[in-house]
Amino acid sequence: MALFQAPILTNGATHPAQQFRMLVRDLARGSEGITQGDDMKVTQRSTPGAGVSVSDGSAVIKGRANAWQGHYAACNIGTADVPIASTGGTARSDMVILRVKDPDYEGSLNPATAQIDYFDVISNVSSSATVIPDGSTGIPLARIDLPANTSVVTNAMITDIRKIANPRRDRTLYTQSPASLSNLITGVSSLYTAFTTAPGWNIAIPDWATSAKIKIDIAGFRMSGGYIFGGLRGKVGPLLTMQPVTIDDDQGTSTRRMTAVVADTLTIPSLFRGTTQLLRAEFAGGTYNTGSASVDSSTTFIADVEFEEAPR
């Protein structure tokens, strides 16, 4: 096959459906899946019964019948009901998928009158299945693991297996240098305290973010007065705390400095999405700590924050 006769949106030209599907493929960067984290989520019915509900949303689906079939764009507006057959004396796993059956490549449905993209159920799949077993054109949404003798589907039986075609990411680098000497954090109480002259950063959390990778570097971390033993961590807002790292320094009583790093991946709770939260570094003196930890004008803080999107 040669080049299409004219590029998309050339005035006066006629474009075949395949050319538009290739455009969808290009815009999706060859990926497939739902568009946003809350698209086409499968849940129990409002009144649990022999079926599930699929929420609204959109998706792109890779055509698998032909190497140059391209991608399909599908959209569900409102909630769709999908029946699930009851089980008998044996447990069974079913897979709920969004299927496309284009008569140019398979089947004989008439696109003018028939629904050629639809929610379908593949019965009796593996209890660990996450991909469509027969390799047909479609994307998996959920696996329903049904106990024996069951006719009512509940959320506890539903495993979310959606993937986002192109998850959103947002990464920002923040810096801060204290203007003066902070509070001296000492003691052995393991009580985490922020540095008074390092006010931190107000971080805007995207409304789509489900997790954040956060790394805080402290160059010129100041220690004085004795043996330093304790924990250093980051804290986001009033709830999210990063995994602490141990600071263990026995270099005497003079004032000395080190570079410390703390990093973690945090799950963003729904109440934090779309809000601004304060990110700060904190230190706590632990058992045997006799010195003081602080920061001053010779200290630099660097925070690397990357938000990521996943199905939710």
For every residue of 176-238, DSSP letters joined together read E--SS----B--SS---EE-TT---EEEEPPTT--EEEEEEEEEEEEEESS-EEEEEEEEETT
Phi/psi of residue 101, each to 5°? -125, 90
- In the prediction, which pLDDT does 132 show? 96
CATH topology of domain 169-308: Jelly Rolls (2.60.120)
**Mean pLDDT rounded to a whole number for the chain:** 96
Residue type, 255: T
Phi/psi of residue 157, each to 5°? -95, -5
| Strand pairing class (256-267; 211-224) | antiparallel
Residues 287/244, Cβ–Cβ less than 8 Å: no
Sheet holding 71-76, edge to edge: 33-34, 57-62, 71-76
Residues 6+ apart with CB under 8 A from 16: 4
195-204 exposure pattern, b = at least 16 Cβ within 10 A, e = fewer: bebbebbebe
Residue type, 67: A
The tens digit of pLDDT for each residue in 1-10 reads 689 999 999 9
- Judged by DSSP in three states, 156 sits in helix
Sheet holding 158-160, edge to edge: 117-122, 92-100, 138-146, 158-160
The tens digit of pLDDT for each residue in 261-310 reads 999 999 999 999 999 999 999 999 999 999 999 999 999 999 999 999 99
Residues 6+ apart with CB under 8 A from 145: 91, 93, 127, 157, 159
For residues 252 and 248, give the distance between their C-alpha atoms in angstroms, rounded to a whole number. 12
The tens digit of pLDDT for each residue in 147-180 reads 999 999 999 999 999 999 999 999 999 999 999 9
Say what the pTM is. 0.89
For residues 103 and 118, give the distance between their C-alpha atoms in angstroms, rounded to a whole number. 14
Helix H or strand E segment including 25: helix 17-27
- In the prediction, which pLDDT does 172 show? 98
Distances (CA, A) of 144 to 51, 115, 214, 311: 10, 24, 35, 17
The tens digit of pLDDT for each residue in 202-254 reads 999 999 999 999 999 999 999 999 999 999 999 999 999 999 999 999 898 99
Residues 31/165, Cβ–Cβ less than 8 Å: yes
Residues 6+ apart with CB under 8 A from 256: 223, 224, 249
Residue 33 pLDDT more than 80?
yes
Neighbours of 185 (CB within 10 A): 23
Number of helices (H), then strands (E), belonging to the chain: the values are 1, 21
Helix H or strand E segment including 170: strand 169-176
- In the prediction, which pLDDT does 1 show? 61
